[in-house]
């Protein structure tokens, strides 16, 4: 693929794993933002994500590194590193090296995902990673839903912004997802780092219906460029999380998660059947997301794009909003302060 003209080092929260992939004592290898990293879980359960190379002589901590209580021990010469990335023990010397530090990343575990805060300027997080339940403020929780269903596609040639632009792209629903009529947006709020998009949409009926008569829709919350959560209304109760994380200058890992609501069962109804139906519906939501991936994975970013009149406001707003997450925005800000 042509390298996207957008930076692959944006600022924000990005998913790097699922929590259940890293048990207590595990050291998990990964590469994101062109950086070899490890995620390791201490005895207490606390999770640390840090760059992978030991500051001593550069061993990769993901190959033989060992969790010892609350620290990570290098396989090469046994130096121990704390959750803050500090050296706390050189086994053959009476004091540690206090100066050197392995870069660590702010990390949160939420909705069974591991998110890290990435920022080339190393600022502290300036917004929260969205929560597929709590962020909608409706008192819902994981217990109201069947277990999370997942899709994981590694190393795709796409940029996180492509996925978010779906949120303002009303016309693609009819063509990519075969909705009977084109949806209509009822909210575009791009005032902050966390943005909100609502739309009225139906997957049922024929093309003779009017969008004004449709009583179903989706609310989406975008936490920066890395994570978007959605909630449906007026249709099968579903929540989704899409998370796109740059691996290097050309590729990203895509993760997509779906929760289907547990229906209230009338007596005599078979809960196993209801769950199977829920799982089937979840697979259908994932299949729709895969239809998008097929497009995104081969797309070339068009800038400036040729837009239809009705597309102009949404795309302009989201692209302007997205700019704040790129390193160029930080550079411009620092420049204006001098």
Which residues in this chain contact ligand FES in the complex, by CB under 6 A?
A: 54, 56-59, 74, 76-77, 79
Question: What is the total count of residues that contact Fe ion (CB under 5 A)?
Answer: 2
Q: Which of ligand FES, Fe ion, none does residue 320 bind (CB under 5 to 8 Å by kind)?
A: none
Q: Looking at beta carbons only, is 57 or 154 nearer to ligand FES?
A: 57
Q: Which of ligand FES, Fe ion, none does residue 271 bind (CB under 5 to 8 Å by kind)?
A: none
Q: Looking at beta carbons only, is 117 or 170 nearer to Fe ion?
A: 170
Concatenated DSSP letters for 53-76? Answer: B-TTT--BTTTT-EEETTEEE-TT
Nearest one of 1, 10, 7, 5 to 304, comparing CA atoms = 5
Q: What share of the chain is helix, strand, coil (3-state, %, to 5)?
A: 25, 30, 45
Residues 173-232 that bind Fe ion (CB under 5 A): none
Residues 245-284 that bind Fe ion (CB under 5 A): none
Q: Which of Fe ion, ligand FES, none does residue 59 bind (CB under 5 to 8 Å by kind)?
A: ligand FES
Q: Looking at beta carbons only, is 69 or 147 nearer to ligand FES?
A: 69
Closest chain position to Fe ion (CB)? 292
Minimum distance between the CB of residue 249 and Fe ion, rounded to whole angstroms?
25
- According to the binding rule CB under 5 A, does residue 166 interact with Fe ion? yes
Q: Which of ligand FES, Fe ion, none does residue 155 bind (CB under 5 to 8 Å by kind)?
A: none
Q: Which of ligand FES, Fe ion, none does residue 323 bind (CB under 5 to 8 Å by kind)?
A: none
Nearest one of 119, 296, 125 to 194, comparing CA atoms = 125
Alpha helices in the chain, H assignment, sequence order: 160-165, 172-176, 271-296, 312-323, 327-337
Q: Looking at beta carbons only, is 35 or 219 nearer to Fe ion?
A: 219
Q: Looking at beta carbons only, is 76 or 127 nearer to ligand FES?
A: 76
Question: How deeply is 337 buried, as exposed, middle or buried, from its count of CB atoms within 10 A (0-12, 13-18, 19+)?
Answer: exposed
Q: Which of Fe ion, ligand FES, none does residue 76 bind (CB under 5 to 8 Å by kind)?
A: ligand FES
Minimum distance between the CB of residue 76 and ligand FES, rounded to whole angstroms?
4
Length of the chain equals 338
Instruction: Strands of 143-224 (E only): list them.
Output: 149-156, 184-189, 194-200, 217-223
Task: Choose, by CB under 5 A, the member of 292, 319, 321, 322 that binds Fe ion.
Answer: 292
Minimum distance between the CB of residue 297 and ligand FES, rounded to whole angstroms?
38
Minimum distance between the CB of residue 58 and ligand FES, rounded to whole angstroms?
6
Q: Looking at beta carbons only, is 30 or 54 nearer to ligand FES?
A: 54
What are the φ/ψ torsions at residue 126 (nearest 5 degrees)? -115, 10
- Asked if 8 and 225 touch (Cβ cutoff 8 Å), the reply is no
- Asked if 69 and 40 touch (Cβ cutoff 8 Å), the reply is no
ω into residue 87 within 30 of 0, thus cis?
Answer: no
Q: Which of ligand FES, Fe ion, none does residue 56 bind (CB under 5 to 8 Å by kind)?
A: ligand FES
- Angle at CA of residue 206, ends 201 and 208, nearest 5°: 95
Minimum distance between the CB of residue 84 and ligand FES, rounded to whole angstroms?
17
* Residues whose CB is less than 8 angstroms from the CB of residue 122 and which lie 6 or more positions away in sequence, other chains included: none
- Asked if 192 and 126 touch (Cβ cutoff 8 Å), the reply is no
Q: Tell me the window of 95-103, 164-172, 277-285, 304-312 that interacts with Fe ion (CB under 5 A).
A: 164-172
Q: Which of ligand FES, Fe ion, none does residue 292 bind (CB under 5 to 8 Å by kind)?
A: Fe ion
Identify the H or E element spanning 231.
Answer: strand 227-233
Minimum distance between the CB of residue 270 and Fe ion, rounded to whole angstroms?
33
Q: Which residues bind Fe ion (CB under 5 A)?
A: 166, 292
């Amino acid at each position: 693929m042509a390298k996207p003209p957008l930076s692959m080092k944006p600022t924000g929260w990005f998913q790097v794993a699922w929590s259940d992939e890293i048990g207590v004592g595990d050291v998990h290898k990964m590469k994101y933002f062109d950086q070899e990293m490890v995620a390791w879980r201490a005895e207490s359960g606390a999770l640390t994500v840090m760059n992978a190379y030991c500051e001593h002589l550069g061993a990769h901590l993901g190959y033989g590194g060992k969790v010892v209580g609350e620290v990570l021990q290098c396989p090469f010469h046994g130096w121990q590193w704390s959750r803050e990335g500090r050296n706390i023990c050189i086994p053959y010397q009476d004091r540690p090296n206090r100066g050197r530090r392995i870069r660590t990343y702010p990390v949160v575990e939420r909705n069974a995902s591991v998110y890290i805060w990435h920022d080339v300027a190393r600022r502290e997080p300036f917004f929260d990673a969205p929560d597929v339940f709590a962020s909608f403020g409706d008192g819902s929780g994981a217990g109201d839903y069947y277990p999370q269903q997942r899709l994981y596609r590694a190393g795709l040639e796409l940029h996180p912004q492509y996925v978010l632009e779906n949120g303002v792209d009303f016309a693609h629903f009819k063509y990519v997802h075969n909705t009977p009529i084109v949806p209509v947006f009822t909210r575009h709020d791009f005032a902050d780092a966390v943005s909100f998009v609502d739309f009225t949409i139906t997957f049922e009926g024929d093309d003779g219906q009017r969008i004004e008569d449709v009583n179903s829709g989706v609310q989406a919350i975008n936490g920066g460029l890395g994570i978007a959560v959605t909630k449906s209304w007026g249709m099968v109760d579903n929540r989704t999380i899409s998370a796109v994380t740059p691996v290097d200058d050309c590729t990203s890992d895509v993760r997509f998660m779906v929760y289907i609501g547990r229906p209230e069962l009338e007596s005599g109804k078979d809960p196993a059947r209801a769950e199977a139906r829920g799982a089937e519906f979840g697979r259908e939501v994932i299949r729709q997301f895969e239809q998008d991936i097929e497009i995104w994975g081969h797309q070339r970013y068009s800038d400036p794009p040729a837009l239809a009149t009705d597309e102009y406001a949404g795309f302009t707003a989201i692209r302007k909003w997205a700019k704040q997450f790129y390193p160029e925005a930080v550079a411009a800000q620092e420049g204006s302060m001098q």
